[in-house]
Amino acid sequence: MTSPCRRPAALALALSGLLVSAVPAQAQNAGQTRSGIYTCIDAQGRRITSDRPIPQCLDREQRELGPSGTVRRVVPPSYTAEERARIEAQRRTEEEARARVNEERRRERALLIRYPNQEAHDKDRAVALAQVDEVVGAVKKREQELATQRKQIDLELEFYQNDPNRAPAWLKRKLEDNEQQVQVQKRFLAEQDQEKRRINERFDDELAKLRQLWSQMAGNAR
């Protein structure tokens, strides 16, 4: 039979043992909480992992894994369908903006590679304009041929100047075809004139951009 004086000592010893065994368990649970891994697949189909809830996946389920890789719990989406739609629209807008910026940078790099200086740019402008001038030269030559043909037609029509209705059908068709061809060449010349303006505008815009890029490169090289 245990004496009354020994009971408090025995009870204290038992409680001490319980506290000692409880501390490692608490530490283990805390370690598991800290070591939890969150994983999800975002809107672009990429798998993301993190040691905390993932902002890119607040609109979808996230899985929290334990140290062994088993699923500890599934975290539901944090937003309503309307909020998710709004977030997705904003994300697409931001991605499109980033894509435009990246595309602009790619074009700038390509422009600098193609035109390291203004001499190279001026040379390309001259080549582009010369190609249009070559086409214009061919059109004007055709215009001269049509003018010569028209003189011959007019000479033949002199025989019927008192009564143009007596002119043969083939001669009338020849005159009509000549007039149509003259109009076609005039329209073609107008188009080539517009093409030269477009070329100059494009090269002017490029040159303005290139001057900025050349200036930045010069500043970076200092």
Instruction: Please indicate, yes or no, whether residues 135 and 47 belong to a single structural domain of this protein.
Output: no
Mean per-residue pLDDT of the chain: 84
Instruction: Please indicate, yes or no, whether residues 124 and 204 belong to a single structural domain of this protein.
Output: yes
Structural domain boundaries, residue 60? 35-78
Two tokens, residue 87? 């977030």
The answer to whether position 141 is within a domain reads: yes
* pLDDT category of residue 35 using cuts at 50, 70 and 90: low
The answer to whether position 205 is within a domain reads: yes
Q: What is the pLDDT of residue 58?
A: 82
pTM greater than 0.75? no
The answer to whether position 107 is within a domain reads: no
The answer to whether position 84 is within a domain reads: no
* pLDDT category of residue 57 using cuts at 50, 70 and 90: confident
Split into its structural domains, the chain has a count of 2
